[in-house]
Amino acid sequence: MSLSGLGDTGKAEPPPALFPAPEPPPALFPAPEPPPALFPAPESDASEPSRRRGGASRNGPAQDDSPENGSPPRNSPTRSGQTRNGQIRNGTPQGDDAGRQLVFFGAEAAEPTVADLAGLLAGPGEVVRMGGTARLSVQVDAAWRVHVLVAELAARGLAASWAPTEGERHAVRTSYTRVLKPLAAAWLHGSAKRPPATFHLTGRRLRLWLAAAGTPEPPDALLLRLGADDQEECWERIGVALAAAGLAGTLLNPSEGGPAYRITGRRRLARLAELVGEPPQAAPPQAWPT
């Protein structure tokens, strides 16, 4: 099944009735708890976005005026939301977080928008165009990632399907839609993927990248995998954006187990944990920085 190229209109296998993802291999980690009956959104990710993570509004998912580049979040950290140990209500921290504020640009400080999907493109995600529409896809190596990404896409008003691929991997992809056209226009130069000049990483973009291709390396390192078919120029620009977010990493070439950026050091991992927010319900405990 091809996930790149122009005009690819093949349909992914529809998810089974009790989805959405196949059970993960038992040797890797225990299978996550089954999702709520009204999947695709686990309760902690998409079913209560307004309460926990500043999610979609009652009238539908928030849209970004500039989805190709993504301006800094317009919602301030004083917007009602939940911190790690308490809540912020009406701009005032409550409980144990009386001396803290949500991290600016963190995943919990802004509503989800289509512009956040740039985080998937920073990693192994791909986007292709067809006429006035575009489709985003990404291959992942574990069933829990399928759960999380389908929910994250749903929170942005994008229906997603999944299909098994070679090597016990899974492909998650959206339908062709006009909503993704600006993102594709900003990232595609011909058929090559390249970050726009104004690209930057926010908490929600990092959260999506981590959910799709983040691999912890205990005790104090984490790999953020890149697109294997991307050009080195693309990898370098992503590294600049990581450094600007306080997450300077070491680029690993394919011969070194990459392409990926290795983030090392307890301080940087703590910074990453603050930016990406609480672990998704479907994620194994060891798969998410805390």
81: in domain:
yes
Average pLDDT, the chain: 75
What is the count of structural domains for the chain? Answer: 1
26: in domain:
no
155: in domain:
yes
31: in domain:
no
8: in domain:
no
Element (H, E) at 263: strand 260-264
How many helices and strands in the chain, by DSSP H and E? 7, 13
Pairing label, strands 221-225, 260-264: antiparallel
Segment 134-179, tens digit of pLDDT: 999 999 999 999 999 999 999 999 999 999 998 889 999 999 999 9
Indicate if the alpha-carbon torsion angle 171, 176, 180, 183 is positive or negative.
positive
Question: Is residue 277 helix, strand or coil?
Answer: coil
pLDDT of residue 71 exceeding 70: no
Classify residue 100 as exposed, middle or buried by CB count within 10 Å of its CB (0-12, 13-18, 19+). middle
15: in domain:
no
pLDDT of residue 48 exceeding 70: no
Task: Choose the weakest-confidence range: 5-14, 76-85, 118-127, 181-190.
Answer: 76-85
Question: Is residue 285 helix, strand or coil?
Answer: helix
72: in domain:
yes
pLDDT of residue 26 exceeding 90: no
Strand-pair partners of 169: 165
Q: Mean per-residue pLDDT for 124-130?
A: 96
CATH number at residue 192: 3.10.28.10
12: in domain:
no
pLDDT of residue 272 exceeding 90: yes
Contact 160, 199 (CB under 8 A): no
pLDDT of residue 131 exceeding 50: yes
* Domain region containing 113: 43-280
